[in-house]
Structure 1
Amino acid sequence: MIVISILFFGLSFPAWAEEPPQELFEYIPELTKWGMDPVLVAAVKEQNAKKMTLASIKKRDEEWRATSGVDDDMRMLMNNDAAKRLLELEQREPFFIELFLMDNQGANVAMTNKTSDYWQGDEAKFIQSYTGGDGSVHVGDVEYDDSVQAYLVQVSVPVMESGGAIGALTIGINLDEFLQ
């Protein structure tokens, strides 16, 4: 595929820098199936059963954002069975770059890398994929990520059980790798 660049004030941006490439949408059916993976569903069900309060989730979110490294709780979320399954899924394609699993409130359940925050419940990636238990696919905006020096888009799918959403899964896609 040829990527056309646009010259703007001396800076070169790929033409798709604002909108995800159309080819990305061909992956949506496969990614949606990931939201029904038995290992991921079991992990979300287990966390939902804990009935964490939103106040405790937000407290953990504050601690999370204040932690520069990786603490024991974060390590656990990167090493549990669901995280191992996410890593297997991430390794299917070189352009999958960061996967994380959320419960019915948007709190992290598992992840392949440390996320910038613990609680995703106030973000479109969770709100629009969980949709109050109905479930829907959300494709985020294309953003440049300094940490990987690449353009990324996040696709979020509902984690489904018995026809209803019980959580959400976000898959980061490195567009620079995707379009090669």
Structure 2
Amino acid sequence: MLTGATASLLASTAFAAEPHVAPMTDFANSTVKQWIADNIVIEAIKAQNAKHAGLSQGDIDKLDQDWRAQTDAGSKPMIDAVLGNALSAYLVNQKNGAQGLVTEVFVMDNRGLNVGQSDVTSDFWQGDEAKWQKTYSAGPGAIFVDEVEMDESTQTFQSQLSMSIIDPASGDVIGAITVGINVDAL
């Protein structure tokens, strides 16, 4: 397994030729690190990790299917529960405080399931995506900056910055965060 510093370096250098990588990595180190060190983030992830410890992959797939079905439904109890939690309120405040730079923020647990988010995501399980695999699975200190894409919902050019989240008590990776960045605002 790669050390956090090595994983971070490899993740960042994979797109080193891209002009958005350096400023996004700076934002990760100057701002997002402070967000993920907050007790509200750590405690929410630890609680969900304990709650979901016994889930099988079939259970995770079912939760993801339920979430996806609710994104277009009139009744959204699962989505409303996540959007209504204290972590989501905290993430909305962080997004709003970034004055247009941040387009979305969401936190995932040790299974890649959403714990809190500023905006509704299209799916509940991120564990099959690079944003979780290249951070949570890479260990402490991992940072992954993805390619720039047009985000249809916000009509902005966006890249996602993802980082592993560490339990300060144990030093173990307990989850990950993804922050959508409006690259035109960098």
State TM-score, norm by structure 2. Answer: 0.80
Residue in 2 that maps onto 1:139: 145
Q: Which residue of 2 aligns with 1:36?
A: 37
Equivalent residues of 2:136, 2:175 under 8 A apart: yes
Whole-angstrom distance in 2 between the partners of 1:143 and 1:104: 26
CA separation of 1:135 and 1:119: change in aligned 2, threshold 3 A: farther
Q: Contact (CA 8 Å) 1:86, 1:99: kept in 2 or not?
A: yes
Does 1:86 find its partner at 2:91? yes
RMSD: 1.7
What secondary structure is seen at the aligned counterpart in 1 of 2:177? Answer: strand
Alignment of 1:45-124 (within 5 A): 45-50=46-51, 51=53, 52-67=55-70, 68-69=72-73, 71-93=76-98, 94-124=100-130
Distance 1:71 1:33 in 2: 31
Count of residues in Structure 1 that have an aligned counterpart in Structure 2: 161
Cα distance in 1 between the residues matched to 2:92 and 2:37: 16
1:57 CA displacement? 1.4
Deviation (angstroms), 1:89 = 1.1
Letter in 2 for 1:120: Q
Match of 2:25 in 1: 25
Matched residue, 1:167: 175
Q: Which residue does the alignment assign to 1:14?
A: none
Decide whether the 8 Å contact of 1:128 with 1:136 is kept in 2. yes
State the shift of 1:23 in Å. 2.5
Asked if the contact 1:136/1:157 (under 8 Å) is kept, the reply is yes
Counterpart CA distance in 2 for 1:132 and 1:157 is 10
> One-letter code of the match for 1:66?
A
What do residues 10-48 of structure 1 show as CA deviations (whole Å, max 9, x unaligned)? xxxxxxxx6525333321212123222210110000000
**In 2, Cα distance between the equivalents of 1:175 and 1:133?**
26
In 1, Cα distance between equivalents of 2:62 and 2:138:
23
1:36-71 deviations in Å (ceiling 9; x for gaps):
221011000000001133321111111222331461
Calculate the TM-score normalised by the size of structure 1.
0.82
- How many angstroms does 1:79 deviate by? 1.3
Where does structure 2 lack aligned partners over 5 or more consecutive residues? 1-17
Q: Are the equivalent residues in 1 in contact too, given 2:25–2:143 (CA < 8 A)? A: no
1:145 Cα deviation after fit: 0.9
| Structure 2 contact 82–117 (Cα < 8 Å) conserved | yes
In structure 1, stretches of 5+ residues that fail to align are: 1-17
